Amino acid sequence: MSAEPVLTATDVSIEYLVDPPVEAVKNVSLTLHRGEILGLAGESGCGKSTLAYGLNRLLKPPAMMSSGEVVFHDRDGHDIDVVGLDGEHLRAFRWDKVSMVFQGAMNSLNPVLSVKEQLDDVFRTHRPKMRRRERLERSRELLELVGVDPDRLTSFPHELSGGMRQRMMIAMALALDPQVMIMDEPTTALDVVVQRGIIREIMRLRERLGFAVIFITHDLPLLIEISDRIAVMLRGEIVELGTADDIYRNARHDYTKKLLESFPSLRGDRGDFIRTGAMPVASALTTSTEAV
């Protein structure tokens, strides 16, 4: 991990313009460094995904960023005001500078197009000068990167396992060599063995390619295992931010402590559910003992 920032958010607030309005993200500030894995943890409904969509300008009505700024620090030394982007500039920014693997991504592939056609569409849209042979070579390279046989390029989504579909989505997110990848619960709905394989692949690719990751999940033990730093969200705010080791050994906020306690240990007595005012924390979390 480098000390050089790649993405900076300052006082970001996001509202859902319903009746009455809902402030989903409240004055959030954070900095993502080059090559860093920043974990974003919290119970369902705390604003994790909304923040991620805001950072990448993917919010749709009735959601809107009501205040704050997001700055992308490009590797060429230029700063990009993400909030101020529009039209072709915004289109060029997405996937090229910052890509995203969405929650439930393994169901995001177009069912009537082959993997090759879907990857080819990315290149024809964002790299119109690439020749057909170059697009094919890059597509094969991407599948090899994520541990999938390049012969699978001709496959359709229904011919792939859940884990392979998830790897395909990661390949698509890597297609344009982004500097930041936002991953919104990328292992949801996968069995534990496949989850671990996907996580290992993400770690390997990060080491090889050097991109930074914002990894969103309610699985705090997993984040402690893979993250450099962790931000804990509660009711739209970041209530604690620190290194993974600090969060694990010296959690300061009561909510962080309760999140840690809500996961069962391999040894010891079963704990009680605790409440944060909206829902039982433990009921909103996916129980995981592998990372404990």
Output the tens digit of pLDDT for each of the chain's 292 residues.
668 999 999 999 999 999 999 999 999 999 999 999 999 999 889 999 999 999 999 999 999 999 999 999 999 889 999 999 998 899 889 889 999 998 776 678 899 999 999 999 999 999 999 999 999 999 999 999 999 999 999 999 999 988 899 899 999 999 999 999 999 988 776 778 888 888 888 999 999 999 999 999 888 888 999 999 999 999 999 999 999 999 999 999 999 998 888 776 666 665 554 454 444 443 333 333 333 3
Cβ atoms of 98 and 55 within 8 Å: the answer is yes
Q: Does 40 map to a domain?
A: yes
Q: Does 290 map to a domain?
A: no
Q: Does 13 map to a domain?
A: yes
Nearest to 237 by CA among 33, 36, 50, 82: 50
The total domain count for the chain is 1
Q: Does 263 map to a domain?
A: yes
- What's the pTM? 0.86
Q: Check which CATH number belongs to the domain holding 183 and give it.
A: 3.40.50.300
| Structural domain of 228 | 5-284
Cα Rg of the chain, angstroms: 19
Q: How many residues does the chain have?
A: 292
Q: Does 87 map to a domain?
A: yes
Q: Does 133 map to a domain?
A: yes
Q: Residue 84's pLDDT is what?
A: 94
Q: Does 291 map to a domain?
A: no
Query: What's the number of CA atoms in the CB half-sphere (13 Å) around residue 55?
Result: 32
Q: Does 219 map to a domain?
A: yes
DSSP-assigned beta bridge partners for residue 100:
182
Q: Residue 271's pLDDT is what?
A: 54
